[in-house]
Amino acid sequence: MDREGKRLLPACPLFDGLEPAVVKEMLVCLEPRMNQYKKSDTIAFAGEAFDSIGILLKGEARVIKETAAGHRSMMAVVRPGGLFGEIVVFSSNAVWPATVIAQEECQVLFIPRRKLVEQCERSCAWHRVLIQNMLRIISEKAMMLNKKVEYLSIKSMRGKLSTFFLEQHKKSGAATFRLPMKRNELADFLNVSRPSMSREMARMRDEGLIDFHLETVRIIDVERLMETAE
């Protein structure tokens, strides 16, 4: 693991509340493995046997769900310090639920599933903290997936965009905010086409609801935006 990986690892939500020195000690017990991936490499295939969660130390990856008809939907974007595979850790159906693809050169640390769910052989004091963090992460992921289902239930493109912008407005507490993902990633998240989404955003700007530049959005008329979100 390079210096950047060692710096990012303690910041990973799995190790929340643990000192960097403790995280370093944990790695001896957790027996992780390190893998390198090139751009467009598949890090994990949906349906394959699951034996480890992944922590991205370098690069960017997408979590993709594909239907039987071949339609792909982006479930999440994983950036340095982010996890993938955590939703399956305590499941009896130990297969990858989605495909993970490297968007650029990636470095991934894999921690064996058994090291997370079984009793620590050394009775390490940090193991309980690790389990608590994992349960919190899974709970937050379930809430995020539930939110994605809500977006899928919204019929109109404008309704999806208005709802998303209002939520970001609420989180930031400001009328101007940066989108938490790139424009093409937002289209995948909302399950809409990028060109159609861009056209709708342009219409919303022309009508005086919002303004935007790259990933920065400014809400001009909150009340009208709330009306279109209903």
Average pLDDT over residues 1-17: 77
Q: Over the stretch 131-149, which tens digit does the pLDDT of each residue have?
A: 889 899 988 888 877 877 8
pLDDT attached to residue 1: 64
Q: Which long-range contacts (CB under 8 A, 24 or more apart) does 9-13 make?
A: 9/55, 9/57, 9/81, 9/109, 11/81, 12/55, 12/81, 12/82, 12/83, 13/81, 13/83, 13/133, 13/136, 13/137
Q: Over the stretch 158-178, which tens digit does the pLDDT of each residue have?
A: 999 999 999 999 989 999 999
pLDDT attached to residue 100: 95
Q: Over the stretch 15-43, which tens digit does the pLDDT of each residue have?
A: 888 888 888 888 888 889 999 999 999 99
Alpha-carbon distance 100 to 97, whole Å? 10
Residue 94 or 6, more confident:
94
Average pLDDT over residues 185-208: 91
CATH topology of domain 3-144: Jelly Rolls (2.60.120)
Across the chain, mean pLDDT equals 87
**In the predicted model, is pLDDT for residue 59 greater than 90?**
yes
DSSP state of 95: B
Percent of the chain residues topping a pLDDT of 90: 45
pLDDT attached to residue 125: 73
Supply 158's token pair: 């404008």
Task: Note the helical H segments in the chain.
Answer: 3-8, 20-30, 113-117, 126-153, 157-172, 183-190, 194-206, 222-229
Domain ranges of the chain: 3-144, 154-229
The DSSP secondary structure of 13-66, one letter per residue, reads: GGGTT--HHHHHHHHHHH--EEEEE-TT-EEE-TTSBP-EEEEEEES-EEEEEE
State the pTM of this model: 0.72
For the domain with range 154-229, which CATH number is right: 3.40.50.150, 3.40.50.300, 3.30.70.520, 1.10.10.10? 1.10.10.10
**In the predicted model, is pLDDT for residue 201 greater than 90?**
yes
pLDDT attached to residue 175: 93
**In the predicted model, is pLDDT for residue 3 greater than 70?**
no
Average pLDDT over residues 76-83: 89
Q: Over the stretch 81-129, which tens digit does the pLDDT of each residue have?
A: 899 998 888 888 889 989 999 999 999 999 999 888 776 666 677 888 8
